[in-house]
């Protein structure tokens, strides 16, 4: 007996209805417009990669390696599905010999991670990255944060940005604890939880990783940047001084751009990935529409350089837009069904003529659907009403003969007669009601 097939989605992957996908398209189209306005160029990279390339920048015990979807092709080659857009981006830089730097790109594409599923974290999802390679200054970081603000403004989401320097963070830890390398990384991981755990819980975690001066350390991570500058004015820790300089310069740029109220220095912000080398940023929604971040980013000057290893340096910085979290916010705001079709043509024994009329109207930039069910006129109006199509044209033999038809507004119930020789009147009516 043939086994009954169980129809369901893989956990962490979803179908999106036409209404839901319309929201997702709106997000992508809006952001593409903003990216292009800033001079960023579109890039598309393959979903399939050689596994060694995906895994190459991580140690064998890194948790991310467990999340890579692995597969083998018919030639027994070891492949994987990309888990982010950064490694394929680095590969593109390495393979494009005539690439001129700085190179500014954006990419919106699917990535895959075989990890735990929770709100805002799926196994198959869209990433949206904006990156620049070839610029080492803080000016470009200010531009990227400006792009963030304008992108979210275009989406109708009021946001604020947190920023910090990994150099500042690591420098303070080094001065207080005399730790190095992996020990500092463990402290960074703990301090990154300062906005999630109580101070007593943080102290307990710090003690576990060997910190004895917990109070002194936490005191520094409660200061603003001006106080930190005064406190460490005579320090000889180059990493710490570089971090202070990076933050002061970025703060100055953000203030000049008018973002002083919505860009906040946060000394405990670490951005979990250890490949960040300088300033890091995260963006959050105001009004607590969602408490998790809507995007993150920062400077990663070593990653592409070490990935390519051709003797050149590739300073890089980028930000991402969390399309899944943005979608969750916008989806909650939609209170009624949306349809991008503006006109339904109801043929009355005039199917071919109705198809010709539909194409004529489409040629002037209006979305049209023809009811092909050969149903009664009442059914066509019911369909338009249910699908939120705002206008209906009844097109019978008399309309074809006279070169005129009536278009009904499904909201006001008003009917207007329109001549085929004057479709500008139709276009104006639709434009007013968009």
Residue closest to 281 by CA, chosen among 294, 269, 268: 269
- Angstrom distance (rounded) from CA 45 to CA 24: 20
| Phi, then psi, of 26 in degrees rounded to 5 | -60, -45
Q: Is the pLDDT of residue 159 over 80?
A: yes
Q: Which domains does the chain have, with CATH numbers?
A: 18-333 (3.30.930.10), 343-433 (3.40.50.800)
What are the residues whose beta carbons fall under 8 Å from the beta carbon of 29, sequence distance 6 or more?
A: none
**pLDDT tens digits along 185-228:** 889 889 988 888 888 899 999 999 888 888 899 999 999 999 99
Are 174 and 184 contacting, i.e. CB atoms less than 8 angstroms apart? yes
Residue closest to 272 by CA, chosen among 262, 263, 282, 264: 282
* pLDDT of the residue at 181: 83
pTM value?
A: 0.86
Q: What is the mean pLDDT of residues 268-281?
A: 86
What are the residues whose beta carbons fall under 8 Å from the beta carbon of 33, sequence distance 6 or more?
A: 154
* pLDDT of the residue at 104: 97
- The distance of Cα 139 from the centroid of its chain, to the nearest Å, equals 22
DSSP state of 373: S
Expressed in angstroms, the distance from the first to the final Cα of the chain is 55
Q: What is the mean pLDDT of residues 76-81?
A: 96
Residue closest to 252 by CA, chosen among 275, 225, 271, 230: 225
Are 239 and 193 contacting, i.e. CB atoms less than 8 angstroms apart? no
* pLDDT of the residue at 1: 64
Q: What is the CA radius of gyration of the chain?
A: 28
Write out the H or E segment, with its range, that includes residue 182.
helix 181-191
Residue closest to 265 by CA, chosen among 211, 214, 229, 318: 229
* pLDDT of the residue at 172: 94
* pLDDT of the residue at 308: 87
* pLDDT of the residue at 303: 87
Average pLDDT over the chain, rounded to whole?
91
Are 298 and 315 contacting, i.e. CB atoms less than 8 angstroms apart? no
Q: How confident is the model at residue 60 (pLDDT cuts 50, 70, 90)?
A: low
Q: What is the mean pLDDT of residues 151-180?
A: 94
Strands 368-370, 343-347: parallel, antiparallel or unpaired by DSSP? parallel
* pLDDT of the residue at 336: 63
**DSSP annotation string for 338-359:** --S--EEEEESS-HHHHHHHHH
């Amino acid at each position: 007996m043939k086994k009954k097939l169980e129809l369901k989605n893989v956990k962490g992957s979803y179908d999106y209805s036409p209404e839901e996908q319309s929201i997702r398209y709106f997000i992508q189209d809006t952001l593409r417009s903003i990216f292009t306005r800033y001079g960023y160029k579109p890039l598309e990279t393959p979903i399939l990669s050689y596994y060694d390339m995906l895994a190459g920048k991580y140690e064998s015990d890194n948790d991310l390696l467990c999340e890579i979807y692995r597969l083998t092709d018919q030639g027994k080659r070891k492949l994987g599905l990309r888990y982010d857009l950064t490694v394929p981006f680095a590969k593109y830089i390495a393979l494009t010999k005539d690439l001129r730097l700085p190179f500014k790109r954006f990419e919106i594409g699917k990535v895959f991670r075989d990890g735990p599923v929770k709100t805002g974290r799926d196994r198959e999802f869209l990433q949206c990255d904006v990156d620049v390679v070839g610029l080492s200054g803080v000016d470009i970081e200010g531009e990227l944060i400006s792009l963030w603000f304008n992108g979210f403004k275009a989406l109708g989401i009021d946001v604020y940005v947190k920023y910090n320097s990994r150099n500042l963070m690591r420098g303070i830890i080094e001065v207080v604890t005399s730790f190095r390398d992996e020990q500092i990384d463990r402290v960074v991981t703990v301090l990154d939880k300062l906005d999630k755990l109580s101070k007593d819980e943080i102290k307990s975690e710090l003690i576990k990783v060997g910190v004895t001066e917990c109070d002194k350390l936490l005191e520094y991570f409660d200061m603003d940047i001006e106080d930190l500058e005064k406190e460490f004015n005579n320090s000889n820790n180059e990493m710490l001084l570089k971090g202070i300089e990076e933050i002061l310069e970025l703060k100055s740029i953000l203030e000049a751009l008018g973002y002083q109220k919505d860009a906040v220095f946060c000394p405990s912000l670490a951005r979990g990935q250890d490949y960040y080398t300088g300033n890091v940023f995260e963006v959050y929604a105001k009004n607590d529409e969602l408490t998790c971040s809507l995007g993150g980013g920062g400077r990663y000057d070593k990653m592409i350089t070490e990935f390519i290893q051709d003797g050149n340096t590739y300073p890089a910085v980028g930000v991402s837009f969390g399309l899944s979290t943005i979608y969750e916010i916008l989806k909650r705001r939609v209170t009624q069904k949306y349809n991008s079709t503006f006109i339904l043509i109801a043929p009355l024994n005039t199917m071919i003529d109705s198809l010709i009329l539909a194409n004529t109207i489409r040629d002037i930039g209006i979305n049209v659907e023809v009811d092909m069910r050969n149903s009664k006129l009442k059914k066509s109006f019911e369909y338009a009403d249910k699908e939120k199509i705002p206008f209906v044209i009844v097109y019978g033999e008399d309309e074809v003969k006279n070169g005129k038809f009536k278009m009904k507004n499904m909201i006001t119930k008003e009917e207007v007669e329109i001549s085929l020789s004057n479709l500008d009147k139709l276009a104006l009516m639709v434009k007013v009601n968009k």
